[in-house]
Structure 1
């Protein structure tokens, strides 16, 4: 087996916004123009590097200078407590697909992935799972151009899962949810969502799509950086990215539910109750993965512009769009137009929800951590509230479609969550 080519941290570079001949690429360090008024350094490194869709305009100057001097609080960064009744465990899997070459690095004849599995666990006083490795924390911060904070600050983020705790549940009794992060983002940035779902009785598999992320650390210490960031980001690139992620997801499902599963708790998974959710391009990849793999019964696109259209033949399985009111309101054009295009071909259960006051980072841990670090991501909705809404509606969707539990929250607006509006492409707008 040929080992993937990796670069040491010292060689990690961005392209400085250069534009080579040919189709205009997405600059390596560009930030989303979504009202990010004081966002740079850490947040650029964590989230807004290379957004999920080529149509999103960017301007690195909107994130200049201010965060480089932002103070990190003396307290330890932390993720919110899960809301379900079960303790949570987490383990990491190193999976190798020998049937295909890596799509981003020539000469690498296998596809290697790192996957975090969160799950209901037996009560344990073991060590909490680390948020990310020191190298990953260092590269994320350096990638954002910030050196005035401890480079291990993300490593010290307090999680709620216990490393390698004993799984709990009955055989084939737990639904499985796959999570896919945004482009350049590690799987760790979806930890708060994953922990919450696991506490509610789901097995959750978060995938690092190797070479599409600022840093992926393998068990032997190798660190793969973002080879996909170095190529032209035209329409062909985004289609390749999305379709490649669909293949990654199917491979992970094989490894967790096949005859020789790679996780010791795999017998708890119900192979007939599988779903997927993703953020940004991970969300855009959800429909592509569902179209490619009939095992995925339901899916959520969280704030991701869809690059690969749902075909005219349609997608008949349940699907939820969940995004920013400022970007994904029907009739608004731009990114919202891709959801309107696909909405027409969602022929099964479907919902389109938007969250007032949220920004792109609001749906992931990045918003939570940025707020703790005193950084402004441009959202008017507090990060804790945005996290609560994301976790609550995501859980309701999966409870409905994987457990057949009625969910009024999925049928109509709730006075408990007035920030969330139900939209209709036909009406080209959103209700109260």
Structure 2
């Protein structure tokens, strides 16, 4: 599948694969001079946020992209409520990861290490605080690292969730392992192969199950996790992987697909656990991507289908927030980055609070005058 370069909400849509069902590309000239380092918005919850990384090896299966690897190796980034607010903030990504991501995406309007200077809010390796907290697994879009969902992850941790973000090795431009070894995107050479999307989501579902198996024994802070309350949230093909993970693993009690064409087939008997689609106008009922129409009928439990007007494919990630640092001008008619981040955080948190904490969420029952951009489908948006 040919990769597209688009501009969304004032940022470059960094090398979105066609398997990700992007919104139609828009064009904008880059600013002549990039702005200073970007800073992610502060978490809205009451808790300080800590973060750490785990490196796991699944010797029971080979890496699906690298036959010479001998085992599937994963980097898992954890965000969680912490006991203190002070301390060094975690890096957004390394200079080399920034370089490979920008080069792979065709972005040349800023120095290649620009994204490594993005300011985050989480304290690196801070002591965890809290107990019996729900767990949220995050899965990013194709070619993107899980750091592209950092704003959402930090916000959920600040609200009292433990978040486990998975970098699916060789499916993004760069993942750094101990010793400085960088795993690059081998899958990028295969994304036009027949059945590519279905294969990716099945591999990601296996990654999720493995992480859920190993997290209790690999992370010292795992005692704070309530393993009976697990959800998964993904963007693009990571959202499609949420469907695949729920079909494969009953431990995933609820899921959200943010603007991802779905590939995993839901059994004819349906999927009865809570699920929410949240996307751009490319995903209106009866639109050009029919996968949500197909799967909507097979979701037999609590479900919602939300469409954000003026959103584009990357509006659910950090990438619009980084536009200024990359020297990319905003695009007229596209949802502003700060508003897209606010809506994403608000509706994801409402879904998780309802289904992992049993807290009533009127926001999810009908359109809100405070959030007029959010349409409830299939009856109240687009074509039905």
Question: Cα gap change, 1:377/1:338 in structure 2, threshold over 3 Å: closer, same or farther?
Answer: farther
Q: Which residue is equivalent to 2:59? A: 98
Q: Which residue is equivalent to 1:197? A: 156
**CA offsets per residue over residues 54-75 of structure 1, 9 Å max, x none?**
x66977xx659x33x64211x3
Question: Cα gap change, 1:368/1:317 in structure 2, threshold over 3 Å: closer, same or farther?
Answer: same
Question: Any idea what SS the aligned residue of 2:50 has?
Answer: strand
Question: Any idea what SS the aligned residue of 2:350 has?
Answer: helix
Question: What aligned pairs does 1:10-409 form with structure 2 within 5 A after superposition?
Answer: 26-27=1-2, 29-31=3-5, 36=7, 43-44=12-13, 47-53=14-20, 66-67=29-30, 70-73=32-35, 75-170=36-131, 173-257=132-216, 261-324=217-280, 326-332=281-287, 334-335=288-289, 337-371=290-324, 373-376=327-330, 380-409=334-363
Question: Cα gap change, 1:124/1:252 in structure 2, threshold over 3 Å: closer, same or farther?
Answer: same
**CA offsets per residue over residues 83-137 of structure 1, 9 Å max, x none?**
0000000001111111100001122210001111000001142100100011101
1:379, distance to aligned residue in structure 2 (A): 5.3
Distance of 1:307 and 1:385 partners within structure 2: 29
Contact 1:30/1:58 (<8 A) preserved: no
1:156, distance to aligned residue in structure 2 (A): 0.8
Question: Cα gap change, 1:230/1:328 in structure 2, threshold over 3 Å: closer, same or farther?
Answer: same
Distance of 1:56 and 1:407 partners within structure 2: 30
Q: Which has the larger radius of gyration?
A: 1
Question: Cα gap change, 1:206/1:70 in structure 2, threshold over 3 Å: closer, same or farther?
Answer: farther
Contact 1:371/1:383 (<8 A) preserved: no
* Structure holding more strand per residue: 2
Residue correspondences, number? 382
Q: Which structure 2 segments of 5+ residues have no match?
A: none
Match of 1:411 among 346, 349, 365: 365
Distance of 1:70 and 1:135 partners within structure 2: 24
1:205, distance to aligned residue in structure 2 (A): 0.6
Q: Which structure 1 segments of 5+ residues have no match?
A: 1-25
**CA offsets per residue over residues 146-174 of structure 1, 9 Å max, x none?**
4452222111101000000010002xx10
Contact 1:309/1:341 (<8 A) preserved: no
Distance of 2:140 and 2:190 partners within structure 1: 20
- Name which structure has the greater RCO, CA cutoff 8 Å, separation 6+: 2
Distance of 2:95 and 2:315 partners within structure 1: 24
1:371, distance to aligned residue in structure 2 (A): 4.7
Report which stretch shifted further, 363-372 or 315-324: 363-372
TM-score (norm 1): 0.84
Q: Which residue is equivalent to 1:12? A: none
1:233, distance to aligned residue in structure 2 (A): 2.0
Distance of 1:410 and 1:371 partners within structure 2: 32
Contact 1:358/1:379 (<8 A) preserved: no
